Amino acid sequence: MSDLRLKGVAKRFGEKDVLAPMDVVVTDGSFVSLLGPSGCGKTTLLRLIAGLETPSAGEIVLGETVLYGPGVNIPPEKRRFGMVFQSYAVWPHMTVFENVEYPLKVRGMDRKRRAQGVMKTLDLVHMDELAGRYPHQLSGGQQQRTALARGLVMEPPVLLLDEPLSNLDARLRAEMRREIRDLHRALGITILYVTHDQREAFEMATKIVIINEGRIEQEGTPVEIQNDPAPGFVREFLSHA
């Protein structure tokens, strides 16, 4: 199966250790949330996995494929992950349809199958009626759905989400939490989700990894962590809920 495994992955910027060597396993079909305060290194970890940054040490393996390791560094476009950014990053010069179509187009799929794939995915995120719109004609929530569709359309082995809901209002956030969880269940895809919001993590994830100052403080299912938070940072952090 295609589990995502990180072995001793670390990142230094100059003299500073942004991430201490860490091991993380994201099993196939799971929903793992990287939780921690801002600046803790969780986004960096996600970008290392995506291939947007290069680790200083360690190994990243997806199933049987080494993505990063000694002498290997597969560029991000070949890692086949889907990714949703905090700022949505939907392209202002393309319509919703074109945005979502892009990953399929890049991979050379023919027009007809592309259209089918796009419409199916837009349907999933309830954007099918807005396919012809440009991003500046959309609300923040609609832009985020577009970004989500773009991440899902090529049915990636793992979908990476970087604080996708932090720019939305509370009502929309609740709605989107539900939708993302439903999507995960319905499609059975693997999700790696970075957030600083405990509620998002505990409500959606099957496994939570709590990170602070570049180190893993605790990992486990939401229930495990709720019942037995590690003393020190985790206990302190959770008490602020």
CB 87 within 8 A of CB 144: no
Residues 6+ positions from 84 with CB-CB distance below 8 Å: 144, 147, 148, 150, 151, 159, 160, 161, 162, 164
Q: Mapping DSSP to helix (H, G, I), strand (E, B) and coil, where does residue 127 land?
A: coil
CA 28, distance to chain mean position in Å, is: 14
Question: What CA–CA distance (Å, rounded) separates 51 from 81?
Answer: 10
Stretch touching other proteins by CB under 8 A, among 90-98, 125-133, 170-178, 186-194: 90-98
According to CB under 8 A, which one of 10, 25, 66, 89 is a site residue for other proteins? 89
Question: What CA–CA distance (Å, rounded) separates 141 from 128?
Answer: 14
**Residue 93 contacts other proteins per CB under 8 A:** yes
**Residue 103 contacts other proteins per CB under 8 A:** yes
According to CB under 8 A, which one of 35, 131, 154, 205 is a site residue for other proteins? 154
**Residue 92 contacts other proteins per CB under 8 A:** yes
For other proteins, which is the closer residue by CB, 158 or 234?
Answer: 158
Side chain identity at residue 81, one-letter code: F
Strand partners, 212: 215
According to CB under 8 A, which one of 27, 86, 206, 221 is a site residue for other proteins? 86
Stretch touching other proteins by CB under 8 A, among 2-10, 56-64, 87-95, 118-126: 87-95
For other proteins, which is the closer residue by CB, 86 or 206?
Answer: 86
Q: How far is the CB of 105 from other proteins (least distance, A)?
A: 9
Question: What CA–CA distance (Å, rounded) separates 147 from 150?
Answer: 5
The residues binding other proteins (CB under 8 A) are 43, 47, 50-54, 73, 75-78, 80-83, 85-87, 89-93, 102-103, 106-107, 134-136, 147, 150-151, 154, 160
